[in-house]
Amino acid sequence: MLDQAAPNDSKVSINGHTPLLPLELRGLSYEANGKRVIERVDLTIKESGITVIMGPNGAGKSVLLRLMHGLITPTAGEVRWGGKRLDRELARRQAMVFQKPVLLRRSAAANIWHALGLRGIARGDRAIRVGDALRLAGLESRAATPARVLSGGEQQRLCLARALSLEPDILLLDEPTASLDPASTLAIEELLLDAQRDGIKIVVVTHDVGQARRLACDIVFLHQGRIIEHQSAKSFFDQPDSDVAQAFLAGGLVL
């Protein structure tokens, strides 16, 4: 059983920039193919611990995460981090890990090198960060291996290491361990808890209740594009407010 470390509330931005919390979603809507995927969502996240977004499949969790990251534009409403609207400067302080690891046809090390290059990190610093990231992910021995040849778990660890090498203030993850074996899942979760201890704000989408229990400080429960609940993990798991969440936690199929 993993212990949750106490979240580091004293600082939310490590480099002395303007703080990026609270995350505020106001009247956020997103429509695709004539269907309302996200329905007038209002949400404020002040806590600096790991926020888990949960809900049945098709609830719109991945879309919500992408709206927070600025990968897609809402059809209505807005996203604000620390009172500021999403812009390039803000985006540079975020990093995201996707459900399926996305790696280039290069070595593991070169993938991290490339990402650092995109951020404009000086060459000298890059070498250090690449080494640190590989060490963190336990992949130093695989540095020169073509990234796409690594196992699924190794690839996802590499993706997470790459994200962390960018020294983000915010880390977003979309079902990061959905297709991984338990050992790899454990490794990823440990990395996330370490990152949280370092003061990185983490938002994770998952449909794995066990993982939510292990990681979450607070839970956002999504159903059919609407936020049904947002409360601390402890109180949520003890007694969810809504029937939908209750049924979900009990393992039933929620339509």
Partner 1 sequence: MADFLQAFHTAVRLIVTFDPRLVEIVLLSLKVSLLAVAIASTIGFAVGGALAVYRFPGRGAVAALLSALMGLPPVVAGLFVYLLLSNAGPLGVLQLLYTPTAMIIAQVVLVVPIIAALTRQACENLLEEYDEQLRSLGASSSAIVATLLWDGRYRLITVVLAGFGRAIAEVGAVMIVGGNIDHVTRTMTTAIALETSKGEIALALALGIVLLLTAFAVNAAFMGVLRFATRLAYA
Partner 2 sequence: MTLNLDRRTVVHIALAALLGTLAPRIAQAEDQFIVVQSTTSTQNSGLFEHILPIFTKKTGIDVRVVAVGTGQALKNAENGDGDVVLVHSKPDEEKFVAEGWGVKRQDVMYNDFVIVGPAADPAKIAGLKDPVLGFKKIAETQAAFASRGDDSGTNKAEIKLWEDAGIDPKPASGKWYLETGSGMGATLNTAVGKQAYALTDRGTWLSFANKDGFKVLVEGDPKLFNQYGVILVNPAKHPNVKAKEGQAFIDWLTGSEGQAAIASYKIDGQQLFFPNAGPQS
Q: Which residues bind partner 2 (CB under 8 A)?
A: 109-110, 113, 123, 126-127
Q: Is 86 in the site for partner 1 (CB under 8 A)?
A: no
Site string for partner 1, 29-68 (x = CB under 8 A): -------------------------------------x--
104 binds partner 1 (CB under 8 A): yes
Cβ distance to partner 1 smaller for residue 171 or 216: 171
Q: Which residues contact 211 (CB under 8 A, 6 or more apart)?
A: 52, 177, 185, 189, 204
Q: CB under 5 to 8 A by kind: which of partner 1, partner 2, none does 104 bind?
A: partner 1
Q: Residues 233, 53: contact at Cβ < 8 Å?
A: no
123 binds partner 1 (CB under 8 A): no
Find which of partner 2, partner 1, none residue 113 binds, CB within 5 to 8 Å per kind. partner 2
CA distances from 31 to 26, 56, 67, 74, 90 (A): 16, 19, 12, 8, 24
Distance separating alpha carbons of residues 39 and 56, to the nearest angstrom: 16
Residue 91 interacting partner from partner 2, partner 1, none (CB closer than 5 to 8 Å by kind): partner 1
